[in-house]
Structure 1
């Protein structure tokens, strides 16, 4: 999926889900903490928002990022090829996070693949209450910081935490960190 297709899909789906939820531009802006002008630009496919902005909008709408990015869905089984995964975050050092697949059954669920190069980090704002993140480190040692407390997660280990607080993923080591992460977001009531 190229950047233009991504912008078009995001704009179309943001507009659809905002209407589906009965939200005005102002209501979504307030709920997501994103400016009204930014939402208009996204809906008109005139900008590509940051990962943080996209997550805030998805959280405010109660859908997963995969839903906002218009992945094709089958009735029961959906295969997402490697070419359809979406790199959502990257750094010049070579760190990246890619959304592999997502589902909105009983609240959004997302599966991510992450690479964090030595010295890199990614910060995340708090997600909605009852959001859970599960991660498994396959290489290196992740420093997971939740509410300012650092937790070391070496290769072969997993972690689970409630992500309704600010958190960050950091690589303080000398080798790349590879991890898989699942995110479960409660449905909007």
Structure 2
């Protein structure tokens, strides 16, 4: 079974499980997430591999991290995630990529990501739940961080933090790859 097949099966199993634990019907989850009922059915039946944006919307609507939605495991206090088990969420032929390194549900979902954006590429995100905070550090290149329509330049060696309850995007408008580490903290569901 390929990595993509394993990811699709894990997402199907976990989405169905978490939807059931929350007591959400297909229609209720569709309304909360903005993802169509038909798409949710396809995901739960492992007949499609949804976009990162769709997966994030579903995780947000369920009040869990994307890590938990993709691979739910109860473990010991220390959990080491080998490099080969980090989840590549998206990539392009040019070499851009986002890898979910590790996450936890303690005190609200918290995720740690490794990103690479090749020149001319970017990634946009819808608003996350109110109170969500992102922190990043750029280790190579110059990141253009767009938060609610306002662009900010974040050069290598610099860090940034922002509340991501608004539309936001990461772009590489330079000539060299952008490398960054990103942490996302989502408030626990009420």
Aligned 1:28-67 pairs, distance under 5 A = 28-67=29-68
**How many residue pairs end up in the alignment?**
189
Q: Distance in 1 between matches of 2:63 and 2:123?
A: 23
TM-score (norm 2): 0.97
Q: Distance in 2 between matches of 1:23 and 1:72?
A: 21
RMSD: 1.0
Distance 1:84 1:73, change over 3 A: farther
Moved over 6 A (4+): none
Gaps in structure 2 of 5+ consecutive residues? none
* Aligned-pair CA distance for 1:73: 4.1
After superposition, the C-alpha distances for 1:85-119 in whole angstroms (9 at most, x for unaligned) are 11112122110000000101111110000000111
Moved more, 70-79 or 13-22: 70-79
* Aligned-pair CA distance for 1:71: 5.2
Aligned 1:8-19 pairs, distance under 5 A = 8-19=9-20
Q: Distance in 2 between matches of 1:118 and 1:73?
A: 39
Which residue in 1 is equivalent to 2:106? Answer: 105
